[in-house]
Amino acid sequence: MSDIGYFALQLALAFSLVGFGWGIYASLDPRPERTRVLERLLLAVSGFTTLAITALFVAFATFDFQLEYVASHSARSMPLHYRLGALWGGQEGSLLLWLFMLCAYGAAAVFVHHRSSRALMPWVCTVLLANCAFFLVLINFTSNPFDKIPTGHVLSDGQGLNPLLQHPAMMIHPLFLYLGFVGFAVPFAFALAALLSGALDASWFRVTRRWTLIPWFFLSIGIILGGRWAYEVLGWGGYWAWDPVENASFMPWLAATAYLHSVMIQEKRDMLKIWNMALIGLTYALCLFGTFLTRSGIVQSVHAFAQTEWFGTIFLSYVLVTSLVFFAALYARRGRLRTPHRIESIASREAGFLINNWVFMAILLVVFWGTLFPVFSEALTGSQITVGPQFFNTMAGPLALFLLFLTGVGPLIAWRRSSLTSLRRQFVWPGIAGLLTAALLPVFGLAGSFYSHVAFSLGAFVMATIAQEYWRAIRVRMRSHAETPLAALGTLLRKNQQRYGGYIIHLGAVFVLLGAAGSAFNEELLQNVAPGDAIELRDYRIEYLTARPIPAQHYGGAVARLALYRRDEPLATMVPEKREYWLEEQPSSVPSIYSTLREDLYVILTAIEPDGSATLKVYCNPLVNWIWIGALAFVVGTAVVVWPHPARTTG
């Protein structure tokens, strides 16, 4: 089966190169039959890639340790689901996963648009095949997962997977990240196709908006899942450390989010065409750049793959060439993308969206500068200087608060121009909610830091804005159509799903930021306790009962049993673990977490001492679960926006 996968990749490379050449020919002289051949070549590459990744799955499932990649990332003691998840645990498999998803997106684009967007499809397929060809060259000649160990050197067992990756979240977190990263290739291909073909009517715009929203959704959930994985696995009580690879996924998310906001201006006022095109190109360039960061070794990260300098050079060259081609085409077509429409007033929704975009770009610049500062400092001084979370929090924190403010302001101002009377009427109740929250927080001892105080107050302002928008719209429908509140809500979500689904997404963003602001109230305690002793933190009491060894097959260690009380009320039994993975020779901590909507109690077993005592590290993390609730709101809101509905009717 491994030989089938090996030859499938070679055939995929051959078909992608032929398809790229044919695509140039078909694009310069487009005819329906040539486009159909091009689409079939793209589907053939997709088929061969699917065969290759299936073969690698079978190799992991059947312990095919003659493959160097399988032997390096799995072991007989690993459960089947972790062996299959090991496919994307290393560089070779992750590149194959990227290629597979790229082909799947390409096949989906062909299926959806094989009758529409005919003027764009030749160039769309050509751009996608060029991307496929690049990754196939890398896989076939530099990082082939089907390379075999020489006969006589094959062992009966493998080296196992990094213990940090043996977690349920890592079974889906990389998939969502890749669905996000790779999915931006489709709107990029349509945008570049429009630039190269000159078909700059509204068709490219309508297509790219939906194709951008889908990978944006996957990338959003992937980032949140990565935070959840870090929270449960890395054993430091946090979920976001501004790690370079975390930032690599965050940067394209910022650019894509800016696009999804500014594209509304193009839809309503036929403005910002050049800017929106630039954001599409920037988003995909940052996706490729993020992939380069994880593989080049230019920055250090716990998440990074193999660090190969020459591999990074090849990948960076591809990022630069891809960006150069796109922005050169954009520059050449800039005249046809200009529009006579201008922003008429600073007190308008267009101006709000534009300022929103500037803030997103400012945060992006902060993240980019902080992530690559070690590279810049080494080039200038000869030594790497790393900036920590304090830099990012200090620089990006005020910008995030301003962005939260704009989230509440946007729905309250009209398109083109807002009158003073209209602004006063719109801002009354949201403003009262924000100011009242700001005044009451110190009364209840919840002021925290300056940033958290402002974040909670702005959060109340934004939630009041969203509630006001829903209530006014529902009330109008109840009066004009005699609908019940629930029926009116359903009609709103059906007839204006982009607007009201977007409000749900905004609500999710508020929850995430409020969950992050709760860190201002975090407390932690490190203490050694003997059996029967207790640790007290806030109104919790944690009694250490006993510890026992772990009777697991591929790792050992100890698990502690703790009784958790709130004052004298028993709440739960907590069982943090300290593991040692034998094959990987790597320790790992598995925290025990007691969760409520108000806070998490997070306990780590640091060590079991020779006298039987245990060293425990305890965190109390208020509001952290609202981050995951915010992710759920993202899912619901995006589903509302993209869910297909019948064509609108009057009434």
**Residues 18, 12: Cα–Cα separation, whole Å:** 10
Q: Are 589 and 480 in contact (CB under 8 A)?
A: no
Q: What is the 8-class DSSP label of residue 67?
A: B
Model pLDDT, residue 116: 77
Mind listing the pLDDT tens digit for each residue in 293-302? 887 767 665 5
Examine the pLDDT at 170 and tell me if it is beyond 90: no
Average pLDDT over every residue of 463-492 = 89
| Nearest Cα to Cα of residue 177 among 305, 287, 323 | 287
Distances (CA, A) of 51 to 8, 25, 72, 643: 7, 28, 22, 31
- Give the count of beta carbons closer than 10 Å to the beta carbon of residue 65: 20
Average pLDDT over every residue of 568-578 = 92
pLDDT tier at 633, thresholds 50, 70, 90:
very high
pLDDT tier at 526, thresholds 50, 70, 90:
very high
- List all residues 6 or more positions away from 444 whose beta carbon is below 8 Å from its beta carbon: none
Average pLDDT over every residue of 11-25 = 94
Q: Are 65 and 72 in contact (CB under 8 A)?
A: no
Q: What is the DSSP string of 123-178?
A: HHHHHHHHHHHHHHHHHHHT--TT-BPPTT---SS-----GGG-STHHHHHHHHHH
Q: How many CA atoms lie within 13 A of 239 on its CB side?
A: 27
Average pLDDT over every residue of 489-497 = 84
pLDDT tier at 277, thresholds 50, 70, 90:
very high
**Residues 443, 447: Cα–Cα separation, whole Å:** 8
Mind listing the pLDDT tens digit for each residue in 330-360? 999 999 888 877 777 787 888 888 999 999 9
Examine the pLDDT at 504 and tell me if it is beyond 50: yes
Six-digit token pair at 33?
A: 């039959």
The residue that leads in pLDDT, 649 or 111, is 111
**Residues 114, 56: Cα–Cα separation, whole Å:** 31
Sign of CA dihedral 71, 75, 76, 79: negative
The residue that leads in pLDDT, 307 or 135, is 135
- List all residues 6 or more positions away from 335 whose beta carbon is below 8 Å from its beta carbon: none
- List all residues 6 or more positions away from 293 whose beta carbon is below 8 Å from its beta carbon: 244, 245, 248, 299, 301, 304, 371
Six-digit token pair at 161?
A: 């997977």
Average pLDDT over every residue of 50-61 = 94
The residue that leads in pLDDT, 646 or 83, is 83
Domain spans, the chain = 1-161, 521-626
| Nearest Cα to Cα of residue 625 among 597, 591, 645, 584 | 597
Q: What is the dihedral of CA 526, 531, 532, 538, to 10 degrees?
A: 10
Tell me if residue 561 falls in helix, strand or coil.
strand
Model pLDDT, residue 374: 84
Mind listing the pLDDT tens digit for each residue in 530-551? 999 999 998 899 999 999 988 7
Examine the pLDDT at 105 and tell me if it is beyond 90: yes
